[in-house]
Amino acid sequence: MAHEVPPLPYDYSALEPYIDSETMHLHHDMHHGAYVKNLNAALEKHPELQNKSADELLRNLNSIPEDIRGAVRNNGGGHVNHSMFWKIMKAKGGGAPNGKIAEAINKAFGDFESFKTKFNDAGAKQFGSGWAWLVRNQSGQLQVISTPNQDNPISQGLFPILGNDVWEHAYYLKYRNRRPEYLAAWWNVVNWDEVNKRFEQSTKAEVHEPALASR
């Protein structure tokens, strides 16, 4: 079964005015579409990997044959990252976090505002393309990190609870070069129920050793 782009769980215009409909069309259909197409093309060279989930591939990047490792890292990462991204947003989202993630954020960062500042800062300072993340590490602590390109934290043994895409394709049509403005606006579309589900999953996830080679 080839990997597929999941349909958006809402209309393309649902996240207006914070994320415009044209950006959503390009981002979901074209960019995510290309990651999935390129991932499937790479896996055709190694059909034994075709039944593995994209998460599983990224967790064990070192075991991926070298001729497709880069393609799997970039396009598998692009697929997993965006599949999460669409779900952790919704129309009329935002506001303060609720449930267990709210408690965990307060415990780790002091309060929601301090967490947001730290997260937005990680996104603003990520040089070039990449992602800002809230992750749970193997000791069970929450951390804010950023990754370049489409690297997903699961390749470092970290569980991604929430992430924001800071590639220019995510914001340039509306925000132009004003990435910090996009980062600030994005909180208005966060789906905290979904983030709580992911936090719950992170507490049950198996602990994985870092799968990236130490370089």
Closest residue to Mn ion, based on beta-carbon distance: 165
Looking at the Cβ atoms of 107 and 169, the one nearer to Mn ion is 169
CA dist., res. 145 & res. 118, Å (int): 9
CA dist., res. 100 & res. 82, Å (int): 24
Task: Please give the structure tokens belonging to residue 201.
Answer: 């999953």
User: To which residue do tokens 């396009």 refer?
Assistant: 75
Q: Give the β-pairing of 130-136 and 159-165.
A: antiparallel
Looking at the Cβ atoms of 16 and 200, the one nearer to Mn ion is 16
Q: Which residues bind Mn ion (CB under 5 A)?
A: 165, 167, 170
State the nearest-atom distance from the C-beta of 85 to Mn ion, in Å: 7
Please tell me whether residue 201 adopts helix, strand or coil conformation: helix
State the nearest-atom distance from the C-beta of 182 to Mn ion, in Å: 12
State the nearest-atom distance from the C-beta of 183 to Mn ion, in Å: 14
- Phi and psi torsions of 130, nearest 5°: 165, -160
State the nearest-atom distance from the C-beta of 106 to Mn ion, in Å: 29
